[in-house]
Structure 1
Amino acid sequence: MSLIARTLTLTLDRKEILHAVNFTAQPGEVTAIVGPNGSGKSSLLKALVGEHPTCGQITLNGRALSAYRPWELAALRGVLPQATVLAFPFTVLEVVRLGLAAGPDAARPEIAEEALARVDLAGYGARPYQDLSGGEQQRVQLARVLAQVWHPLRQGAPRWLFLDEPVSSLDIAHQLTVMEIARAFARAGGGVVTVMHDLNLTAMYADRVQILSKGRTAGAGPVAEVLTDKRLSEVYGCPLRLSTVPPAAGLFLLPQTARM
């Protein structure tokens, strides 16, 4: 009952984006995909959910991804893209209900309000979606995805969250809120795969990490083993050191006690 991809190769506009990438994620864990801009992070996530056709093999919960029907996938996993554009004047609650309708819990309308409360948007249901800030819209979209896979386990099988840069537009408090939601989903037996830019949040919340560099895997495994000075410096092209305060540094902030 895991997500396994083998030798994924992705070509877009005759350019090879991913080069024989292997990837594994387990239920009960948060698996982060990190790397510099243009390294293929979002492309890998899209390949893993079947949005991009690839060469290679992908299995989800022991079954080939290509063997699932669309409604089966909708009941099994929720996908949060980097950005979502809505052309119609939906209310916040209507947006969340789109996810609820796609999942197997459509008969429980109260889930939509519960999902909004979980992302700290209780009472926002009647507001026009377009009137919200970018960060608020991002949290509404997360609530939509949560409503789709509200229970991390269904009939004994794990369900999955695929999140593409879920904290990119958020203030620090809501970054922590979103990452706590991801951790809670994993603790309850679900699987989480998330594209991340913030290495501190990755170190705090992820169980496993996969680093991409120019469409290839530069490291994969437990966070403490993969995030090393040497590897990060090579991948990001600048000197990086872990757990070291720069000499004569000014004030800096790291929410290191958030999970204590």
Structure 2
Amino acid sequence: MTLHAQQISLSIGKKQILKDVTFKARAGALSAIVGPNGSGKSTLLKALVAELPSEGQISLNGRLLQDYAAWELASLRGVLPQAAHLAFPFTVLEVVRLGLMAGPEAQNTRLPFEALARVDLEGYAGRSYQELSGGEQQRVQLARVLAQVGAPMREGQPCWLFLDEPVSSLDIAHQLTVMDIARQFADGGGGVVAVMHDLNLTAMYADHVHVMTGGETAGAGTVADVLTDQRLSEVYGCDLRIGKVPADAAVFVLPQTARA
């Protein structure tokens, strides 16, 4: 089962953001979308989940996206936006239950607490969402997604997670926690599509990498095939080297050491 988007183009006003992008992701794999600021990464993710209307054709698990009813998509996929702003004084539990109410197990009262425990927020259920740090709020939103679509497979079909910069506000330990959740979901047969900025984490966790620049595809394939000196230097506009140790014994910290 796959996610397949063909010749996706998208304009906002008179500005074209995406230009004939073809994107593929398979169930059982973690697919990362990377690229510099303004390259169209988040816009592509929004097009893939039909949050923004686009030209082209998108199919999920062998069906065109427009052929699904809204409730079917809610049970099949969870979407974590880049940022979520709540105007009302919700508790953490109430936010997580927003996902549960949209999912197929709405009567399972344990799921919100299990989801909070998975993102290292056990005991936070009664706290005010607005009083949390940015990183804690981001993990609450992930718990909401997991309450909605926590199982990688349902009735023989893969489920999907769409994550827009899921680790942007997190410390290294919680970045690893979130990426481990995504990896386990994919290993369980589900599909994960994640917009990423951290190329080290991308190299650690992704099975497939799709590089964007200027609203177009600059490369797609395995980590080894795509993350090369030449491609990254061209796309990011600075001299980048894969696996090169800094000169003069400069201090550097890599998340890979935590998994060594």
TM bucket, shorter chain: over 0.9
Residue 220 of structure 1 corresponds to 220
Mapping for residues 51-200 of structure 1, pairs under 5 Å: 51-200=51-200
Distance in 1 (CA, whole Å) between partners of 2:36 and 2:105 is 38
Distance in 1 (CA, whole Å) between partners of 2:259 and 2:181 is 12
Distance in 2 (CA, whole Å) between partners of 1:18 and 1:258 is 37
| Corresponding pairs, count | 260
Distance in 2 (CA, whole Å) between partners of 1:216 and 1:225 is 18
Distance in 1 (CA, whole Å) between partners of 2:43 and 2:167 is 18
TM-score (norm: length of structure 1): 0.99
What letter corresponds to residue 53 of structure 2 in structure 1? P
Find the residue that maps to 2:255 and give its secondary structure: coil
Distance in 1 (CA, whole Å) between partners of 2:187 and 2:108 is 23
Distance in 1 (CA, whole Å) between partners of 2:164 and 2:258 is 22
Residue 9 of structure 2 corresponds to 9
What letter corresponds to residue 96 of structure 1 in structure 2? V
Distance in 1 (CA, whole Å) between partners of 2:221 and 2:105 is 34
Distance in 1 (CA, whole Å) between partners of 2:76 and 2:178 is 20
What letter corresponds to residue 97 of structure 1 in structure 2? R
Q: CA deviation at 1:18?
A: 0.4
Q: CA deviation at 1:151?
A: 1.0
Distance in 1 (CA, whole Å) between partners of 2:237 and 2:140 is 35
Distance in 2 (CA, whole Å) between partners of 1:163 and 1:104 is 20
Find the residue that maps to 2:202 and give its secondary structure: helix
Distance in 2 (CA, whole Å) between partners of 1:61 and 1:172 is 33
What letter corresponds to residue 121 of structure 2 in structure 1? L
Q: CA deviation at 1:246?
A: 2.1
Distance in 2 (CA, whole Å) between partners of 1:4 and 1:259 is 32
What letter corresponds to residue 32 of structure 2 in structure 1? A
Find the residue that maps to 1:125 and give its secondary structure: coil
Residue 229 of structure 1 corresponds to 229
- Measured against aligned partners, the alpha-carbon deviations of 1:207-242 in whole angstroms (never above 9, x if no partner) come to 100000000000001111100000000000000000
Distance in 1 (CA, whole Å) between partners of 2:249 and 2:203 is 22
- Measured against aligned partners, the alpha-carbon deviations of 1:146-199 in whole angstroms (never above 9, x if no partner) come to 110011100000000000000000001000000000000001111000000000
What letter corresponds to residue 53 of structure 1 in structure 2? P
> Could you list the runs of 5+ residues in structure 2 that have no partner in the other structure?
none
What letter corresponds to residue 207 of structure 2 in structure 1? D
> Could you list the runs of 5+ residues in structure 1 that have no partner in the other structure?
none
Q: CA deviation at 1:5?
A: 0.3
What letter corresponds to residue 164 of structure 2 in structure 1? D
Q: Percent of aligned pairs with the same residue?
A: 70
Find the residue that maps to 1:58 and give its secondary structure: strand
Distance in 1 (CA, whole Å) between partners of 2:88 and 2:256 is 41
Find the residue that maps to 1:256 and give its secondary structure: helix
Q: CA deviation at 1:107?
A: 1.5
- Measured against aligned partners, the alpha-carbon deviations of 1:24-60 in whole angstroms (never above 9, x if no partner) come to 0001110000000000000000000001111100000
Q: CA deviation at 1:259?
A: 3.4
Taking only aligned residues, the RMSD between alpha carbons, in angstroms, comes to: 0.7
